[in-house]
């Protein structure tokens, strides 16, 4: 099937099988390998991307469902060559270890801060509770998102 969509602000198209998962379209067809494939069952969140501004788990979205829609991945998070505050926060607070969960965490974190620029620790933990990190124990990720929230509020 022919699909067209916007990915990170660029028009893309492709001929895909109806069953092709969005995560594989992004990774194998568009070679946007920042989005990872971790569990197949929507539990780990390594595949989280935005579909029309909302975080979704791209391992359980068909590519054809994104036809005509707007997709944003971690590769589109930095703007004008400058890292997004959540990216900066993950660096400053050691929110990254192996880096495999990081793209999904970043996309979820940015979505949270866009909705709620001043989240409490519990709100942050709740927002990322659909993401699994096996390395960091989450505390540094929570701090990284708080760091980004603080940076976003700075004059």
By the 8 A CB rule, do 84 and 77 touch? yes
C-alpha to C-alpha distances, 19 to 16, 59, 142, nearest whole angstrom: 8, 11, 36
CB atoms within 10 A of CB 85: 22
Task: Name every residue whose Cβ is closer than 8 Å to that of residue 97 and which is 6 or more positions away in sequence.
Answer: 133, 135, 136
> What is the footprint of other proteins within residues 41-80 (CB under 8 A)?
41, 43-44, 46, 73-75, 77-78
Nearer Cβ to other proteins, position 68 or 94?
Answer: 94
Nearer Cβ to other proteins, position 67 or 135?
Answer: 135
C-alpha to C-alpha distances, 90 to 60, 70, 80, 125, nearest whole angstrom: 26, 25, 19, 15
Question: Token pair of 23, please?
Answer: 């995560």
Task: Using the rule CB under 8 A, give the single segment among 50-58, 63-71, 84-92, 112-120 that binds other proteins.
Answer: 84-92
Q: Tell me if 125 contacts other proteins by CB under 8 A.
A: yes
Which member of 52, 114, 126, 150 binds other proteins (CB under 8 A)? 126
- Cβ 20 to other proteins shortest distance, Å: 7
Q: Tell me if 138 contacts other proteins by CB under 8 A.
A: yes
Which member of 30, 71, 106, 113 binds other proteins (CB under 8 A)? 106
| Contact footprint for other proteins (CB under 8 A) | 17, 19-20, 24, 27-28, 31-41, 43-44, 46, 73-75, 77-78, 83, 87, 90-92, 94, 96-103, 106, 121, 124-126, 128-142
């Amino acid at each position: 099937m022919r699909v067209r969509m916007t990915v990170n602000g660029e028009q893309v198209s492709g001929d895909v099988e109806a069953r092709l998962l969005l995560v594989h379209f992004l990774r194998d067809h568009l070679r946007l390998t920042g989005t990872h494939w971790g569990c197949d069952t929507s539990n780990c969140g390594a595949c989280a991307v935005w579909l029309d501004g909302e975080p979704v788990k791209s391992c359980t979205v068909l590519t054809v469902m994104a036809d005509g829609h707007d997709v944003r991945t971690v590769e589109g998070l930095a703007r004008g060559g400058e890292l997004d505050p959540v990216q900066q926060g993950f660096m400053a607070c050691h929110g990254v270890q192996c880096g495999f969960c990081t793209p999904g965490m970043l996309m979820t974190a940015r979505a949270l801060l866009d909705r709620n620029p001043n989240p409490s620790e519990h709100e942050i933990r709740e927002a990322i509770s659909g993401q699994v990190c096996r390395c960091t124990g989450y505390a540094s990720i929570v701090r990284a998102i708080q760091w980004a929230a603080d940076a976003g509020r700075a004059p």
